[in-house]
Structure 1
Amino acid sequence: MTESSFMETEHGTKIAYHRTNGAGPGVVFLGGFMSDMEGSKALALEEQARREGHAFVRFDYQGHGQSSGEFADGTIGLWLKDALAVIDRLTTGPQILVGSSMGGWIALLAAKARRARVKALVGLAAAPDFTLWHWDALTEVERNTILTEGRLLVPSDYGPDPYVFTRDLFEDGWRNRVNHGPIHLDIPVRLIQGTADPDVPWQTAMRIADNITGEDVEVVLVPGGDHRLSRDVDLARLVRVVANLAEGLR
């Protein structure tokens, strides 16, 4: 396994990343909340990139994986800055963004911010505005804890470390909400969503699709699919969807 490279950003994050050089369009993988770039989806896409000779980047946001900073200091806006720095400094030409869970939210924001560069988008259990529905699901005691103490620890089903929800995360999430009205993107968008996802209701993908103003939008519902979408059949589907998009952009 090759060692990670690091990039210092103007906003203070030392971003860990792996970059595969190759032809365009390039692919950038954006991970989820408290995830890192070593997950099976990112590695499957990297293997595809090496096999087919196209450019690919995977990276860790601030406070994730090998990148600098504390997770609890992160917000959607800060992690968006990390993603934009990666697009601006580590890629050239047209890009396909692949966002998993929270990464789907950041991918939508990044696509809007870099319209000249982002030419297609794939969302895997995309969770735009997840902080809004998480806030609504909290008890009054939990909300008061966040408001008075600034943070709340919640057990995670995906690892030993608890989720850290901060007041800054919720407030910044409100400022960066994107799925509350028209999403002005006119690029190919593919949304892959499991129907048995316990964290992101499958209806979320339908709402995203309805809100995107472009015409080339498809929702792929996976019967019985969970939130990770990391089974062999799921990874094969992801690779196939990205390859088809890349072929259409050449």
Structure 2
Amino acid sequence: MPTLDLPRCRLAYRVTGSGPAVVQLHGLMSDQVANAAGGLDLAAGLPAHRIVRYDARGHGASAAELAQWPRLCADFVHQVESGPAGGSELPGCRTGGGDAQGARHGARRQQPAGPEPVTR
């Protein structure tokens, strides 16, 4: 599985399909595998999209300790800006939905102005 290197973390991800990016976000204490097994992969079956699934810091195949929510949110923003996602649509459940909202509404406030990483 490919990884994206971040400070003190290596995020494991996989990409399927082609087209506009959709990033599937999992909940706290979950991961890509658990989402698929539990029917929580909200991006499954989307035609003509590039689906990016990743395990958050301290979850699944990602190498790092668990972190507080603001760090998970910042990791997500980094994944979108520097990883395979580009500007993205964001289905997410539980904490993953919170990560998406935080990315859209607050995680960037300490970063320089630039293009929005999340389209909606």
Which is helix-richer, 1 or 2? Answer: 1
Larger relative contact order, structure 1 or 2 (CA cutoff 8 Å, min sep 6): 2
Note if 1:77 corresponds to 2:70: yes
Could you tell me whether the CA contact under 8 Å between 1:28 and 1:58 is conserved in 2? yes
Could you tell me whether the CA contact under 8 Å between 2:43 and 2:91 is conserved in 1? no
Of residues 60, 63, 69 in structure 1, which corresponds to 2:58? 63
Q: For structure 1, which runs of at least 5 residues remain unmatched after alignment?
A: 121-250
Aligned equivalents of 2:94, 2:16: Cα separation in 1:
23
RMSD: 1.9
Aligned equivalents of 1:8, 1:62: Cα separation in 2:
11
Of residues 103, 110, 125 in structure 1, which corresponds to 2:96? 103
Of residues 15, 20, 32 in structure 2, which corresponds to 1:19? 15
Q: For structure 2, which runs of at least 5 residues remain unmatched after alignment?
A: 109-113
Could you tell me whether the CA contact under 8 Å between 1:62 and 1:69 is conserved in 2? yes
Question: What is the 5 A alignment of 1:172-183?
Answer: none
Query: Which amino acid is the alignment partner of residue 3 of structure 2?
Result: F
Aligned equivalents of 2:79, 2:15: Cα separation in 1:
10
SS in 1 for 2:81: helix
Could you tell me whether the CA contact under 8 Å between 2:22 and 2:89 is conserved in 1? yes
Could you tell me whether the CA contact under 8 Å between 1:13 and 1:82 is conserved in 2? no
Offset at 1:103?
A: 1.2
Offset at 1:84?
A: 1.1
Query: Which amino acid is the alignment partner of residue 105 of structure 1?
Result: G
Offset at 1:27?
A: 0.7
Cross-structure match for 2:118: 118
Aligned equivalents of 1:91, 1:21: Cα separation in 2:
12
* Alignment CA distance shift 1:81-1:116 (3 Å): closer
Runs of 4+ in 1 over 6 A off after TM superposition: none
SS in 1 for 2:4: strand
- Give the structure with higher Rg (CA): 1
Note if 1:86 corresponds to 2:83: no
SS in 2 for 1:99: coil
Aligned equivalents of 2:91, 2:49: Cα separation in 1:
15
SS in 2 for 1:35: coil
Offset at 1:115?
A: 6.7
Aligned equivalents of 2:96, 2:49: Cα separation in 1:
21
Could you tell me whether the CA contact under 8 Å between 1:30 and 1:59 is conserved in 2? yes
- Given the two structures, how large is their TM-score scaled by the length of structure 2? 0.78
- Superposed CA offset, 1:185-228 (max 9, x none): xxxxxxxxxxxxxxxxxxxxxxxxxxxxxxxxxxxxxxxxxxxx
Q: How many residues align structurally?
A: 108
- Given the two structures, how large is their TM-score scaled by the length of structure 1? 0.40
Cross-structure match for 2:48: 53
SS in 2 for 1:79: helix
Identity %: 25
